[in-house]
Structure 1
Amino acid sequence: MTATAFVLFGSFFLFMLLSVPIGISLGLAGIVTALYSTNISITFLTQGLVTSTDNFALMAVPFFILAGEIMGKGGISGRLFDLANVFVGRFTGGFAMAAVITAMFFAAISGSGPATVAAVGGIMIPAMVSQGYDKKFATAVVVSAGSLGIIIPPSIPMVLFGVSGNQSIGDLFMGGILPGILMGFTIMVWIYFYSKKKNYKGNNQPFSIKEMWSALYRAKWSLLVPVLILGGIYGGIFTPTEAAVVAVVYSAVVGFVLHRELKIADFKPILADAALNSVVILLIIGTANTFGTILSMEQMPKAFADALLSLSDNKFTIVLLLLLLLLIVGCFLDTSAAVIIFTPILLPVALGIGVDPIHFGVLMISALALGFLTPPLGVNLFVGSGISGLSVSTIVRAVVPFFIVLLIALIFITFVPALSLVLVQ
């Protein structure tokens, strides 16, 4: 590691230890490095903040965030849960399984892990407790399922990976569908065995075609969102960025006109929340891009790739090392920052050992998704704590079994590339 790279990383971790927000830490680390190095100017950093976000594909980020905010406050969670409950409610642990399916559907709308936990958890955690479920278990279910929000499309981190790695965002969206479903299924398998042990029974109601059609009818507008987005992209009707704008218009029509659960007065706080979340992510994108550019100037990606490839010539060993690194990174770095910083570093390594770039993108996002469940960052843990009133340490202990089953699913995704590529054209 060169002296400049040491200053960059050293100052960044110092600011992080001082609890400076991730976006500010990345920017300050760049400033410290510019003051140290004669090859980097402050002007370069300020220009980088603008040029790195001046990208048509990145316009999808604030629009997907806005669409998620509108749908999240438009009363869709209850409708989705009613539909899921029709299919799995009668099984052991069925109420908790329905919460997972609801989170998976909502993930396909919001594209965000914390947003999924907030929208679904606010309804499902109290409802599960009222059904006799332990609050720790109920919170762990929603917190774990919320991590799927960045795997199931539309996914904001996949947009960032596509931009950083020059890959098709539409292909990444399609690649995330089956891995996201698999990870949701593994959560439900654990719920079944745990519920059997704790005697969390289902609702004992037989499957009813009438109830199914009734629930489908109530949730029909919400279910059309992922179909509209992915169908439009793959049908060549619009780009991923245009799909995000369509999602905003559609979600507004659903919330204000069809469901009629949103009022004009609700639009101002929705816009404010979406703007705040967008600004935070775009700041991280700008500073992380500048951070990554400095790394590239110091030839760190090439040095890292050479060092990693020198450890072994075995493809599976290298992939496992990449996986381990991503799991560690997820514990400490915001997902958006991690994707932007590490994609230029790790993607060449993956390509060098013959890993498909779309598969690697799905693998990278899936591994970082587990970071939502691991301290010290663990954003989903803090959101779940705010909803349930439980301490973060209590939720961490309850989440451990879910983390293990998700890790097993991640390993399967890693070594079965077809799962990520079978739907990709």
Structure 2
Amino acid sequence: MSIELISVLVLFISFAALLAYGVPVAYSIGISTMLVLLINISFLPSVTTASQRMTTGIDNFALLAIPFFILAGELMNRGGVAKRLIDFAKSLIGSLPGGLAYVNIISAMLFGAISGSAIAAASAIGSTLTDKMESEGYPREFSAAVNISSSTTGLLIPPSNVLIIFALASGGTASVAALFIAGYIPGILVGLAIMLMVYIYAKRKGLPKANRVGFKQLFVDFKNAFLSLTLLFIVVGGIVAGIFTATEAAAIAVVYAALLGFWNKELNVGDFKSILLKSARTTAIVMFLIATSMAMSWLFSFEGIPQMLTSLLVDSVSNPIAVFLLINLILLIVGTFMDMTPAVLIFTPIFLPVAMALGMHPVQFGMVIVLNLCIGVCTPPVGTLLFVGSGVAKVPVAKVIKPLIPLLIAMVVVLMLITYFPSISLWLPRAFDLID
């Protein structure tokens, strides 16, 4: 058995064993990487190499966007943005059967897109809407399921931290601007698919609808939400127009979110201590994950794992449809036990060369891998969003699973569409001349 094959087996077996034992993902990645390095080189060079790769992995200007977007999300969460978006969505579509469920979806899409965080969207929207939905006759577990699934749209609709991470993991084959623009149609399709399932459920269960509001109230709610919605145009528009980079856009988002919180009179100077501390903790966790994942990604290249897998899949399975289906299946399974950040950093270098060899554009693959992992964060045993959404709604996870399954099926249908119809992901970036 060759040293390369032994290294690959040690890497994956040790990583799987550590995860199964309950070791945090970042430590599992770092330990398994060190074990493989020790097989190839001695102790001190292994430590030096791992340290260098972790340090250089996060020495990237584009990654500065992540702490800024995390901070902007916290500022918006505290600054009353969620409430104004909910009021606007309710005025817009609350009068439909099952209207509050649609309000939940639209609000999660808007807030998730503005904040760039699915967890922030689930927390802010769920804590505001769940009790109100229950008081109007919606089953609490159904409300939680809608909130959990719809909050994932903010990971596709820009600005999205995970798309920035994919751009880094792709080695520059997909730009942040192209990924941001590409995310709109898949993200909206996911929202519409969830709405369709809600419509079927609402008609069957006879869910209530809110009273129709007049144009005057709709205008008032739109005016109150307008400044929040403007942030999307500033951030994404500025990046696409080439006015500023994603990192600069994230810094602008922080300033804008802070000013908006003061304007709404729901944020004061005393709030900044807790906001900064929470943002710093979240950033530290994310950056440590990125650092260890980048060390493992380098190891993949060193051992030639992407090339081995590409040759194996392309030579053994000649049908691209079957290969893409297999990649989706693997990513769906991975998403059930691994957080998005390390999953993107680890599996992008493995599967992107395979996808590109079979004709898939890297921007399209970015949408595929992110949507796969969006589904994963909604599923046990490690589904972060599932646990957050259930906790916010104060519903046991076991009760949320049943109403969540049809919504996840709708998301899988959209996944198949963006996998086999490239124009869904590539039409907008091509329209803006961001890709060939």
Question: Normalised by the shorter chain, which TM-score bucket?
Answer: over 0.9
Instruction: Measure how far apart 1:38 and its partner are.
Output: 2.0
Counterpart AA for 1:36: I
1:16 aligns with 2:6: no
Q: Counterpart in 1 of 2:337?
A: 332
Matched residue of 2:242: which SS? coil
1:71 aligns with 2:66: no
Counterpart AA for 1:143: I
1:120 aligns with 2:119: no
What pairs up with 1:389-404 in 2 under 5 angstroms?
Answer: 389-404=394-409
Instruction: Measure how far apart 1:310 and its partner are.
Output: 2.1
Distance 2:293 2:27 in 1: 10
Counterpart AA for 1:4: S
Matched residue of 2:428: which SS? coil
Instruction: Measure how far apart 1:312 and its partner are.
Output: 1.9
Instruction: Measure how far apart 1:31 and its partner are.
Output: 2.3
1:228 aligns with 2:231: no
What pairs up with 1:82-161 in 2 under 5 angstroms?
Answer: 82-161=87-166
Are the equivalent residues in 1 in contact too, given 2:113–2:153 (CA < 8 A)? Answer: no
Q: Counterpart in 1 of 2:224?
A: 218
Report the identity percentage: 39
Instruction: Measure how far apart 1:176 and its partner are.
Output: 0.3
Instruction: Measure how far apart 1:398 and its partner are.
Output: 2.3
Q: Counterpart in 2 of 1:352?
A: 357
Distance 1:277 1:127 in 2: 30
Q: Counterpart in 1 of 2:266?
A: 261
Matched residue of 2:377: which SS? helix
Alignment length (residue pairs) = 423
Instruction: Measure how far apart 1:305 and its partner are.
Output: 0.9
Q: Counterpart in 2 of 1:34?
A: 37
Instruction: Measure how far apart 1:22 and its partner are.
Output: 0.9
Q: Show CA shifts across 1:288-328 (max 9, x none).
A: 11111112111111111111112322222221111111111
1:342 aligns with 2:347: yes
What pairs up with 1:227-306 in 2 under 5 angstroms?
Answer: 227-256=233-262, 258-306=263-311
Distance 2:164 2:314 in 1: 28
Match of 2:191 among 163, 170, 184: 184
Instruction: Measure how far apart 1:284 and its partner are.
Output: 0.5
RMSD: 1.3
Instruction: Measure how far apart 1:77 and its partner are.
Output: 1.0
Instruction: Measure how far apart 1:385 and its partner are.
Output: 2.1
Counterpart AA for 1:355: M
Q: Counterpart in 2 of 1:373?
A: 378
Distance 1:132 1:222 in 2: 30
Q: Show CA shifts across 1:39-86 (max 9, x none).
A: 761111111121100000111111111101110111111110111111
Instruction: Measure how far apart 1:37 and its partner are.
Output: 2.9
Counterpart AA for 2:210: N
Are the equivalent residues in 2 in contact too, given 1:113–1:372 (CA < 8 A)? Answer: no
Distance 2:237 2:111 in 1: 18
Instruction: Measure how far apart 1:27 and its partner are.
Output: 1.2
Distance 1:317 1:13 in 2: 26
Instruction: Measure how far apart 1:198 and its partner are.
Output: 1.2
Counterpart AA for 1:339: V
Counterpart AA for 1:239: T
Are the equivalent residues in 1 in contact too, given 2:137–2:208 (CA < 8 A)? Answer: no
Are the equivalent residues in 1 in contact too, given 2:154–2:160 (CA < 8 A)? Answer: yes
Instruction: Measure how far apart 1:108 and its partner are.
Output: 0.9
Distance 1:80 1:337 in 2: 31
Instruction: Measure how far apart 1:403 and its partner are.
Output: 0.5
